[in-house]
Amino acid sequence: MHFRIYIKNVTMVNEGRRIKGSLLIDDDRIDQIIEGDAGPDMIPVDETIDGTGCYLLPGVIDDHVHFRDPGLTAKGDFFSESKAAAAGGVTTVFDMPNCQPQTTTLEAFDRKWRLASQKSVVNFGLYFGATAGNSYELGRLNPRKVAAVKLFMGASTGNMLVSGEHVLRIIFEQSSLPIMTHCEDSQLIADNLKACCRQYGPDPDVVHHPEIRSAEACYQSTALAVKLARETGARLHVAHLSTARELELFTANDPRITAEACVGHLFFSADDYKKLGARIKVNPAIKSAADRDALRRACADGTIYTIGTDHAPHRLADKVGGCVKAASGMPSIQFSLVAMLSLVDEGVLTMERLVELMCHNPARLLQIENRGFLREGYMADLVLVRPGVPWTLTPNRIQSLCNWSPFEGTTFRWRVERTFCNGFPIYNRGHVTDEKFRGRPVCYNR
Ligand code: DOR
Ligand code: ZN
């Protein structure tokens, strides 16, 4: 028995093109993409969706999430946060290793894999965390099972810092998988923190966060990562660039050294600390409006390769205090696509570029099999979005367990109408349709 869903009268955005027409889902696959008004080949369909006025995009692939499972599940877990993903049009997520226990052994990796399989309503892949002591494992990871290696070259939530050029070089040499780095120079940060505390006391207000986690700290660490990648030939993707200056280290046409920007750094600037305080405290820190604008331009011109969320839920109780006490990180996955679409409305980037950055390039980066594009025969991971329906974000809409969002009070012009994961309509206008549905671990073309 095949289940066939026919989505008609939509504008599809894919691989640099806009196509008016319709798309036919057959079970878990995209069966036909039809340009113009023609119907599907004579076969009856089970459901027809009239998407007049809507855009149909490949489901978003978020290359950077912290779903907190296992061990930190008071903040969120694979079930709650994957529902937030589905509600945001995200059909595949890649989860970071700074949970408890950390995903730095094969045993911890397999345990998290089982947990995600049991709890996730969207597709998933997992990063393996590098430590100073596990380079032997890094060289032997199963490339069909592990998405990539995550390397903290700067300390952040979870104490996974690896430092020292010699140790870092070994990791770059050993890993045959892509390496995603968190780049912030810890020594500079420690010095800045000491100076700031001398001036403002033991827990300086969060407005000082970008002085402590400074642009210089980002530049030094990112420059080191780029240098090591050049010297070792490793495939490097630097996570969450936050400054204009780091962008100078990347070019739009080096396929082995690329960079990610995260929605928070593209949406907010240091001017927002006054209003949002520790809610937008994140590592690396949100920096100046000029940095934000440079990152936006880099999304448009191809210097940035992917946009992720760095979805990192914390309870509001963890977000109390200043630069020292308040937890770093914020939830964002449920509203990342609509937030980026508002930047499309502002003329920051085109919808075609957005699809490149949030769907195609994450698939290319991680060599994901059969996902990330609207192509016949590919998995039917899709999101249907509607423009021109303004709505304001209030807490009752939030799926994340932590139940707050840095975007609260924001009025968005776009709405996620429906999300299809492996052909299944997992999200439909405000509701996750079936809490028992489960996504799949993704496969890699390696
Ligand atoms: O602000 C952050 N929060 N940066 C990170 O690198 C980790 C994340 C978290 O897990 O909370
Ligand atoms: Zn992160």
How many Å lie between the centroid of ligand 1 and the Cα of residue 66?
8
Residue partners of 300: CB distance under 8 A and separation at least 6? 348, 349, 350, 353
Q: How far apart are CA 22 and CA 24, in angstroms?
A: 7
Which region, left, alpha or beta, applies to residue 76 given φ > 0 means left and ψ of -120 to 50 means alpha? left
Mean pLDDT of 240-268: 97
Which residue type, as a one-letter code, is found at position 345? D
Same-domain pairing of 184 and 71: yes
Ligand 1 pocket, 419 CB below 6 A? no
Task: Decide the pairing of beta strands 391-392 and 60-65.
Answer: unpaired
Of ligand 1's listed atoms, the one at least distance from the Cα of 158 is 10
Domain membership flag for residue 439:
no
Identify the pLDDT of residue 319: 98
Q: Is 21 in the pocket of ligand 1 (CB under 6 A)?
A: no
CB 93 within 8 A of CB 67: yes
Domain extent at residue 427: 4-57+375-395+409-432
The pLDDT tens digits for 138-149 are 989 999 999 999
For position 48, which CATH number holds? Answer: 2.30.40.10
Instruction: Give alpha helix (H) positions in 201-320.
Output: 209-212, 215-232, 244-247, 263-267, 273-276, 289-301
- The pLDDT-based confidence of 385 (bands split at 50, 70, 90) is very high
Specify the pLDDT at position 39: 74
Residue 264 sits in the same domain as residue 223: yes
Q: Which residues surround ligand 2, an ion (CB under 5 A)?
A: 310
pLDDT of 42 reads 64
Is 332's C-beta closer than 6 angstroms to any atom of ligand 1? no
Query: Residue 179 forms beta bridges with which residues?
Result: 149, 236
What ligand is nearest to the CA atom of residue 279? 1
Cβ of 334 closer than 6 Å to ligand 1, yes or no, is: no
Residues designated as active site: 310
Closest ligand 1 atom to Cα of 68: 10
Question: Is there a domain that residue 445 lies in?
Answer: no
Q: Label the pairing between strands 4-14 and 47-50.
A: parallel
Q: Is 156 in the pocket of ligand 1 (CB under 6 A)?
A: yes
pLDDT tens-digit map of 408-431: 999 999 999 999 999 999 999 999
Q: Are residues 73 and 172 in the same domain?
A: yes
Residues 359 and 288 in one domain: yes
Task: Name the pTM for this structure.
Answer: 0.98
Q: Which atom of ligand 1 lies at the shortest distance from residue 96's CA? A: 10
Residue of minimum CA distance from atom 7 in ligand 1: 157
**Cα separation, 68 vs 404, whole angstroms:** 16
Residue 305 has pLDDT above 70, yes or no: yes
Q: Residue 40: pLDDT above 80?
A: no
Residue nearest to atom 6 of ligand 1 (CA): 156
Report the atom number in ligand 1 closest to the C-alpha of 327.
Answer: 11
Which residue, 120, 62, 19, 52, is CA-closest to 339?
A: 62
Query: Can you tell me the distance from the alpha carbon of 184 to that of 192, in angstroms, rounded to the nearest whole number?
Result: 12
- Choose one of 67, 73, 77, 98 to mutate for the ligand 1 pocket test, by most ligand atoms within 8 angstroms of C-beta: 98
Q: Does position 44 have pLDDT exceeding 80, yes or no?
A: yes
Question: Residue 235: beta bridge partners?
Answer: none
Listed in sequence order, the residues at least 6 apart from 230 whose beta carbon sits closer than 8 Å to its beta carbon are 257
Q: Please choose, from the candidates 310, 303, 346, 360, the residue with its C-alpha nearest in 3D space to the C-alpha of residue 330.
A: 310
Torsion over CA: 14, 17, 23, 29 (sign) = negative
Residues 35 and 95 in one domain: no
Q: How far is the CA of 389 from the centre of ligand 2 (A)?
A: 31
Mutational pocket test of ligand 1: of 310, 330, 402, the residue with most ligand atoms within 8 Å of the beta carbon: 310
Domain for residue 441, yes or no?
A: no
Amino acid letter for position 106: L
Q: Are residues 287 and 309 in the same domain?
A: yes
pLDDT at 2: 83
In which residue are the tokens 């440079």 written?
294
Atom of ligand 1 nearest to the CA of 98: 10
Average pLDDT rounded to a whole number, residues 284-303: 98
Q: Are 280 and 329 in contact (CB under 8 A)?
A: no
Q: Which atom of ligand 1 is nearest to the CA of 314?
A: 11
Q: Is the pLDDT of residue 334 over 70?
A: yes
Any ligand 1 atom below 6 A from CB of 242? no
- Ligand 2 centre to CA of 46 (Å) is 41
The b/e string for 34-55 (b: 16+ C-beta within 10 A; e otherwise) is: beeeeebeeeebeeebebeebb
The domain total for the chain is 2
* Structural domain contains residue 206: yes
In a domain, 438, yes or no: no
444 found inside a domain: no
427 Cα: distance to centroid of ligand 1 (angstroms): 27
| DSSP H stretches of helix in 128-213 | 135-138, 165-174, 186-200, 209-212
* 26 and 122 housed in the same domain: no
Instruction: Compute, in angstroms, the gap from residue 199 CA to the centroid of ligand 2.
Output: 30
Ligand at shortest distance from the CA of 406: 1
**How many other β-carbons are positioned within 10 Å of the β-carbon of residue 344?**
17
Length of the chain: 446
Q: Which of 123, 163, 222 is nearest to 423 (CA)?
A: 123
Among the bound ligands, name the one nearest to the CA of residue 72. 1
Ligand 1 in reach of 66 Cβ (< 6 A): yes
Shortest-distance Cα residue to atom 4 of ligand 1: 283
Query: 98 and 20 in one domain?
Result: no
Is the same domain home to 382 and 247? no
> Is there a single domain that holds both residue 215 and residue 266?
yes
Q: What are the C-alpha distances in Å from 37 to residues 17, 29, 30, 44, 437?
A: 17, 21, 18, 17, 33
The protein residue with its alpha carbon nearest to ligand 1, atom 3, reads: 329
42 and 177, same structural domain? no
Q: Where are the alpha helices (DSSP H) in 233-261?
A: 244-247
Kindly tell me the number of DSSP H helices and DSSP E strands found in the chain. 14, 19
**For residue 12, how far is the Cα from the chain centroid?**
22
402 domain-assigned: no
Higher pLDDT, 139 or 67: 67
Q: Do 279 and 180 sit in the same domain of this protein?
A: yes
d(CA 352, ligand 2 centre) in Å = 26
CA of 322 to the centre of ligand 2 (A): 20
Alpha-carbon span 417 to 88, nearest angstrom: 9
d(CA 129, CA 331): 21
Q: Determine, yes or no, domain membership for 353.
A: yes
Looking at this protein, which amino acid is placed at residue 154?
A: G
* CATH code for the domain in which residue 334 is found: 3.20.20.140
